[in-house]
Structure 1
Amino acid sequence: MAEACEMSGNGDLEESSAMEASEVPQSSSPEMVEMAEENGSVAELTEIPAASEHSSFSVPSAEENEEKDLPADFERLWLAAHENPPDFTSWTDLLQYCEQEGQVAASRRALEAFLSRYSLCYGYWKKYTDLERRAGDNDKAEEVCVRGLKVIPLSVDLWIHYINLLLGTLDMKLPESPLKIRRVFEDAIQAAGLDFHSDRLWDLYIEWEKEQGNMKNAMAVLERVLRVPTQRYNTHYEKYKEQLNGFEPKELLTPEEYEELRALCRQSQKAERAEQAQEEEQERPPGEEVPATPEGTDTEELMQKIREQVLLRRDKVYQDNEGEVRNRWNFEDAIKRPYFHVKSLDRHQLRAWHSYLDWEIAQLNKDTKESPKQDPNEAATEGSEVTAQLPEEEPEVAAVPQDDHRVRILFERCLIACALYEEFWTRYTQYLESQSVDEARAVFKRACEIHLTQKPNIHMLWATFEERHGDLNEARRVLEAIEKTLPGLVVVRLRRAALERRAGNLDQSLALLQEAVAESKEKTTLHAFYSIKLARLLLKLGRNPTKARTVLQEALEISPDNDKLHMNLLELELSGDPWASAEAVQECVTRALAAPLAPHTKIIFSQRALQFAEEHSSSIKSVLSVYDGHQRLLNELGGTKRGAENGDDDPEKLHKVDDGSSVDASAETQPAVPQVPITTPPPVVGGGDAAAAQAGYAGYSSWYQQPQYGSYGYQNTWNYNQGYYPPS
């Protein structure tokens, strides 16, 4: 059995013995074993910070486990984790308990549940793989590891773990085994080879090819990594030079490049020899013959010249790559937590990721303007794929390309560390949408169905995305899913209703709001809110003021003290035919004045009734009657009026309609209580209706002269008596 593994709360290995020395194939050389150790098979992985420690799975046989019941405390810990799924500690407690009990069935069940929620914890995928392997099921172990790699293909550690698993379980004497290992290496390089910290993966690939005796393949891999900006870029170049000096160039270079350099160096060598022979001819004693040199012989001098030419070419590649590393170094250095954890990142870390993405995208845009776009797949391979035979590739000396694939790799790295932050998922979808709707949709799916299942904003953005691209059914499904997950969210219900309205399904939109009204009767404030929304839709688009009125009246029976309901009902009545609305307006005002509303709110209703009467009444008597009632209300509520006049209350705050659902805009900017007291009425003038001023048409001009009533459209003060009543 392997040694114990120290795990952080994130499932990251602190000490890993993923593969014992005995698990390395028997044909492995000491160098290969050493390389495997360096890449996570036996060595300590000290770069991963620790949060909490867990011992490794100590697993009995599968048959033994089948006979046992689940551990005694398993159900208790299981329920604790499922009752509060976002509580990471409850999950790690469950997993630690299963490990300590050494029960395969319990461990399997716990790991499946945990990884379905926290799939980016690559350390637990490694533990799950080891669990199945130690239970004797190598096929299941490989299946688990592949599942993990599909979720986090950028995990260099998980790729190395998978390769070491294959090295420990495959029969390398079979011809298909090396081919499979090489395919996995190529998949790993394609997926994670551009990661700044992918050096261990490249090194393992190179050493494995050397261990297989494929020096040309090893050299080809080195050729590719020389063009990838990684943390240990300089060590790759040193290995390249060491390899070149340790073997004949013919054993390392492609046939095309070797023959090209050989011919070039031979020509150079012939010119040097001709010059040298001329000098020697002058110094040679008379009659002595020139020693014959065999034609076609490759001397050590020629080999050295070929090496010099190779390094001359590769030095340009190295210098360009060094510049790319230098450009990225500060960005990489600013990233302190490149792995996933539920703990929040500080704002400096978030800003660092945003800055890095800004720079990489800017480099792409700059490069796109300067040169044709490169195939994204070329970035990871940087040349022909390495096969069992010598790869045929032209020598490249170009700079490291700034292509789209590199931007995507950085986004994917970011979404491991920042998986719980909507802003990065949103930014990635926006980046992808202009290139591929399907790829953007896949990112939305990952975000909403795996990592941000309880974040409504990203779900609504996804629904908007689908609606914008014409898939209304998917938009409906997304909104329905988040509403089931988080029932009772007002914004989601309103978004669903709006979606149906835009789709032309007014009946369905109304049905959604009616359902919300019916389900919220126990929550009076929410019930009033939905009722106002439903009434507005019935009035504005349904053209059915009768039903809208009924909805508001029924809501008032439940919430008679809700001033917004009263105000919206009043605005509904005011928006109708003024000749037919007078009685309804008066009834609405009377209801509001009798309701348990705040005094200043009642004054607003009285003022609106007076304004309606002044603007639409056909009789001065009715205007004066409303005016008298308004005066009596002011007298009754004099304390409140004086308080407002003294500035104790802010009219804007008092009259603001919080939910913005008033049917008429004027309801949101109601006038304040008059600040100038109504004065003694002017002398009676003339006869007829004018004589009714004796009854109390007291200084009506003063009411219009209040500056705060500008919101009703009376921007300029004017004396109502001028031009209507002659001066006394």
Structure 2
Amino acid sequence: MAAAEGREEEMSGNGEPEESPAMETSEDSAPPPAEMTEENGGGGGVVLEPPKGPDPASFTMPAATEDGDGEIPADFERLWKAAHESPHDFSSWTDLLQYCEQETHVTSSRRALKAFLLRYPLCYGYWKKFVDLERRAGNNDRAEEVCIEGLQAIPLSVDLWIHYINLLLGTLNMNLPESPSRIRGVFEDAVVAAGLDFHSDRLWDLYVEWEKEQGNMKNATAVLDRVLKVPTQLYNTHYDKFKEHLNGHEPKEVLCPEEYEELRALCRQSQKAERAEQAQEAEEERPPGEEEPATPEGTDTEELMQKIREQVLVHRDKVYQDNEGEVRKRWHFEEAIKRPYFHVKPLDRVQLRAWHTYLDWELAQLHADTRDPTQEPTQATTEESEAAAQPREASQEAAVPRDDHRVRILFERCLIACALYEEFWTRYIQYLEVQSVDEVRPAYRRACGIHLTSKPNIHMQWATYEERNGDLTEARRVLEVLEKNVPGLAIVRLRRAALERRAGQLDQSEALLTEAVAESKERPTLHAFYSIKLARLLLKLGRDRSRARRVLQEALEISPENDKLYMNLLELEVSGDPRASAEAVQECVTRALAAPLTSHAKILFSERGLQFAEDYNNSIQSVLSAYEEHQKLLKEVGGTKREAENGDEDPEKLSKSEESSAVAESVAEATPTTPHVPITTPPPPVMGADASAQAGYAGYSSWYQQPQYGSYGYQSSWNYNQGYYPPS
């Protein structure tokens, strides 16, 4: 891991040298034969429990010295403060950790590691450093606790499992009868959690060797039998080790009693038949009067042992061949993955595509395995097989069968390397969603609570999920946490207000928007935006026209040049009783024409006032007066708006304007920039809300289709420049 960009080539993102990545490749690895092709096929496995990462909310500044190891180093507080002032700056954390390691100060190192691993729990190398720190300090129990906590955060880490096992081997009293059982239990937990990983060979080898050291040859055989069925990088070496194990011991010592007796009986029967045939031939050739030499009954000769070994290998060879086929299918996918461990450095497009393609294939394998093997292939299934390498929609991934262990393992592996990418978390959650609420929520908690704390899309997806499943309290909490993490993101405040409105809490919805209006007075554009939202809520749902008018008028005091505020105020006035609102409409138009607006905007306001007069005024004189004022404005601005004859706009233009009106109701979400965290795809639009005001609401005008104002429905249905009224 690098403390700064200049040192990134020295250390990986896990606290290990780059030459020793999370999953090392051995020189003994043998790639599959050249004739290998991609074939459909699955594989057995075990269900991987979702990792339980540390709770970031539990972090507090630890107290002073805990172990009496002297004063805190001089620069610790400075580096500590720098890391917490810029929590997303990875190099500030690594600078702190490197300093603590150099100073060899237990308390400060413990503080730094705790705080760091709350934010980056997938850095397995730092969990190992933490364990070693506690062990050197003589805190073996605490070292074990750290190991367990690390494995809860990253259960697929083969390195961390091996580190934990070595810790136990070095600290447990192996003379106690319970110690071997405990070690064996940890080995079992390890192969259940990480044994299906393509790079888990070292863990399996360690398990086999430990059983041999304990003198449990049958147990070693059982472990070898299990790994022979797992497609791993060094699959061929496991078969070689099985042969060596079998040939180095008597079959009775390495085989379970049932298999040994079965093969022994089979081989003795075969041997007896061969001997009978040989005896008959020898009888014919033996000189008269000479008898056959006697053979002791029940003796297991070396020849019989060799026959048993041959039969054992006949059975295992079929397993090996099947497993080799599974390795062939996965080999080129695995070779395409260059960084299987976590790092804050962005992955390139090739790597992201490699993970997507691998997931596509594994999902296709899963669905292919669930088909009836006796069913004849149809055109539809053929087309589905051809499309297996293409990205699959969430609806296609929804038909999840029970035996989906390999898919889950691959998703979990992917979410180590791609933990900072929303797209992979979203895809995994879509896959899990058909299972149960209990499986989806932990995934959301890991994504939003640890890795994507400042990414709004996935937080809002989580809030939507909770609301859809009836947990409004959790939905509120998710949005509140997001707004705290990313302050000033308008879409989040709008989502909160909408949630309360849908829950029937109109007062709370209004309160949230009112608070947003009050807090944004120093940012006029954002203040105008929230004021418009609040006024619409008061007018359309609260039926309080006077309060809505007051909100817009107060906003105009702060932003007198904001044409959208004038347009919304005008819409409010014209939507009332025309017999009572004529004066208010005229006052609004007059105020807009006197404001520092663009010439085109003033023409639109004048046209709207003239249209209202034409439609609703009771006096022709008032209509003519409005018309003359409009003509005067046109001359002042130095041009007229050319329109179609008879006042009817081009139908194609009207259609485009209506389409623009629909677009104006969609959202362009603003995502705050997090250091080192790339945004690989633009977020999808969220209908029914407006976007963030980060950086002054830069895209605000385009959402309202300025200068056409299509979103307000103001279309000039009459041509006021054609002289329909005679000049006065």
TM range (shorter): 0.7 to 0.9
2:342 is aligned with 1:340: yes
Write the mapping of 1:471-620 to structure 2, written as runs, cut at 5 A. 471-620=471-620
Equivalent position SS for 2:164: helix
2:332 is aligned with 1:291: no
2:156 is aligned with 1:154: yes
Shift in CA distance, 516/465, structure 1 to aligned 2, threshold 3 Å: same
> What displacement does 1:67 show?
5.1
Indicate if the aligned counterparts of 1:533 and 1:661 stay in contact, CA closer than 8 A. no
> What displacement does 1:297 show?
2.1
2:702 maps to what in 1?
Answer: 658
2:168 maps to what in 1?
Answer: 166
2:675 maps to what in 1?
Answer: none
Q: Gaps (5+ residues) in structure 2? A: 1-8, 28-63, 375-400, 643-655, 665-700
Equivalent position SS for 1:618: coil
> What displacement does 1:447 show?
0.9
Q: Distance in 2 between matches of 1:631 and 1:107?
A: 78
1:323 to 305, 322, 325: 325
Q: Distance in 1 between matches of 2:96 and 2:197?
A: 33
1:632 maps to what in 2?
Answer: 632
TM-score of the superposition, structure 2-length normalised? 0.78
Shift in CA distance, 337/672, structure 1 to aligned 2, threshold 3 Å: farther
1:412 maps to what in 2?
Answer: 412
Equivalent position SS for 1:182: helix
AA of the residue aligned to 2:473? N
Q: Distance in 2 between matches of 1:199 and 1:495?
A: 48
AA of the residue aligned to 2:585? V
Equivalent position SS for 2:370: helix
2:187 is aligned with 1:200: no
Write the mapping of 1:354-369 to structure 2, written as runs, cut at 5 A. 354-369=356-371
> What displacement does 1:581 show?
2.4
Shift in CA distance, 524/673, structure 1 to aligned 2, threshold 3 Å: farther
Write the mapping of 1:399-478 to structure 2, written as runs, cut at 5 A. 403-478=403-478
2:57 maps to what in 1?
Answer: none
After superposition, what is the alpha-carbon deviation per residue over 1:188-246, rounded to whole angstroms, capped at 9, x for unaligned? Answer: 10110011000000000000111111110011000000000000000000111111111
Q: Distance in 2 between matches of 1:676 and 1:695?
A: 12
After superposition, what is the alpha-carbon deviation per residue over 1:687-723, rounded to whole angstroms, capped at 9, x for unaligned? Answer: xxxxxx5554xxxxxxxxxxxxxxxxxxxxxxxxxxx
> What displacement does 1:104 show?
0.9
Write the mapping of 1:98-113 to structure 2, written as runs, cut at 5 A. 98-113=100-115
> What displacement does 1:640 show?
7.7
Q: Distance in 1 between matches of 2:572 and 2:23?
A: 73
> What displacement does 1:621 show?
2.5
2:622 maps to what in 1?
Answer: 622
2:218 is aligned with 1:216: yes
Indicate if the aligned counterparts of 1:571 and 1:667 stay in contact, CA closer than 8 A. no
Q: Distance in 2 between matches of 1:240 and 1:171?
A: 30
AA of the residue aligned to 1:451? H
Indicate if the aligned counterparts of 1:538 and 1:548 stay in contact, CA closer than 8 A. yes
Indicate if the aligned counterparts of 2:11 and 2:18 stay in contact, CA closer than 8 A. no
Indicate if the aligned counterparts of 1:367 and 1:402 stay in contact, CA closer than 8 A. no
Q: Gaps (5+ residues) in structure 1? A: 1-5, 18-37, 45-61, 373-400, 643-650, 682-692, 697-728
Q: Distance in 2 between matches of 1:216 and 1:12?
A: 38
AA of the residue aligned to 1:539? L
Equivalent position SS for 1:13: coil
Indicate if the aligned counterparts of 2:705 and 2:711 stay in contact, CA closer than 8 A. no
Equivalent position SS for 2:17: strand
Shift in CA distance, 667/421, structure 1 to aligned 2, threshold 3 Å: closer
- RMSD of the TM alignment (CA)? 3.1
> What displacement does 1:97 show?
1.1
Indicate if the aligned counterparts of 1:364 and 1:402 stay in contact, CA closer than 8 A. no
Indicate if the aligned counterparts of 2:704 and 2:710 stay in contact, CA closer than 8 A. no
2:267 to 241, 265, 275: 265
1:13 maps to what in 2?
Answer: 16
AA of the residue aligned to 2:163? H
Q: Distance in 2 between matches of 1:579 and 1:669?
A: 21
Indicate if the aligned counterparts of 1:463 and 1:475 stay in contact, CA closer than 8 A. yes
Equivalent position SS for 1:658: helix
Shift in CA distance, 174/152, structure 1 to aligned 2, threshold 3 Å: same
Q: Distance in 2 between matches of 1:559 and 1:520?
A: 12
Equivalent position SS for 1:516: helix
Q: Distance in 2 between matches of 1:481 and 1:353?
A: 30
AA of the residue aligned to 1:313? H
Shift in CA distance, 580/624, structure 1 to aligned 2, threshold 3 Å: same
Shift in CA distance, 466/63, structure 1 to aligned 2, threshold 3 Å: closer
Indicate if the aligned counterparts of 1:599 and 1:640 stay in contact, CA closer than 8 A. no
TM-score of the superposition, structure 1-length normalised? 0.78
Structure whose alpha-carbon radius of gyration is higher: 1
Shift in CA distance, 213/525, structure 1 to aligned 2, threshold 3 Å: same
After superposition, what is the alpha-carbon deviation per residue over 1:491-514, rounded to whole angstroms, capped at 9, x for unaligned? Answer: 100000111111111111111111
Which stretch of the first structure deviates more once superposed, 572-581 or 524-533? 572-581
Which stretch of the first structure deviates more once superposed, 6-15 or 460-469? 6-15
1:278 maps to what in 2?
Answer: 280
AA of the residue aligned to 1:576? G
Write the mapping of 1:39-50 to structure 2, written as runs, cut at 5 A. none
Q: Distance in 2 between matches of 1:213 and 1:326?
A: 35
2:311 to 305, 309, 315: 309
Indicate if the aligned counterparts of 1:39 and 1:200 stay in contact, CA closer than 8 A. no
> What displacement does 1:7 show?
7.2
Write the mapping of 1:681-700 to structure 2, written as runs, cut at 5 A. 695-696=727-728
Q: Distance in 2 between matches of 1:410 and 1:87?
A: 29
> What displacement does 1:665 show?
8.2
Equivalent position SS for 2:702: coil
> What displacement does 1:668 show?
4.5
Q: Distance in 2 between matches of 1:315 and 1:528?
A: 75
1:180 maps to what in 2?
Answer: 182
Indicate if the aligned counterparts of 2:117 and 2:123 stay in contact, CA closer than 8 A. yes
> What displacement does 1:654 show?
13
Q: Distance in 1 between matches of 2:166 and 2:19?
A: 12
> What displacement does 1:277 show?
2.1
Q: Distance in 1 between matches of 2:65 and 2:608?
A: 83
Indicate if the aligned counterparts of 2:69 and 2:107 stay in contact, CA closer than 8 A. no
Q: Distance in 1 between matches of 2:265 and 2:193?
A: 39
> What displacement does 1:671 show?
5.2
> What displacement does 1:65 show?
5.8
Shift in CA distance, 141/39, structure 1 to aligned 2, threshold 3 Å: farther
Indicate if the aligned counterparts of 2:199 and 2:233 stay in contact, CA closer than 8 A. yes
How many residues align? The count is 605
Indicate if the aligned counterparts of 1:119 and 1:148 stay in contact, CA closer than 8 A. yes
> What displacement does 1:544 show?
2.4
Indicate if the aligned counterparts of 2:15 and 2:125 stay in contact, CA closer than 8 A. yes
AA of the residue aligned to 2:147? C
AA of the residue aligned to 2:312? V
Equivalent position SS for 1:290: coil
1:684 maps to what in 2?
Answer: none
Equivalent position SS for 2:324: helix
Indicate if the aligned counterparts of 1:567 and 1:667 stay in contact, CA closer than 8 A. no
Q: 1 or 2 for the larger relative contact order (CA 8 Å, sep ≥6)?
A: 2
Determine what percentage of the aligned residue pairs are the same residue. Answer: 74
Q: Distance in 1 between matches of 2:84 and 2:23?
A: 36
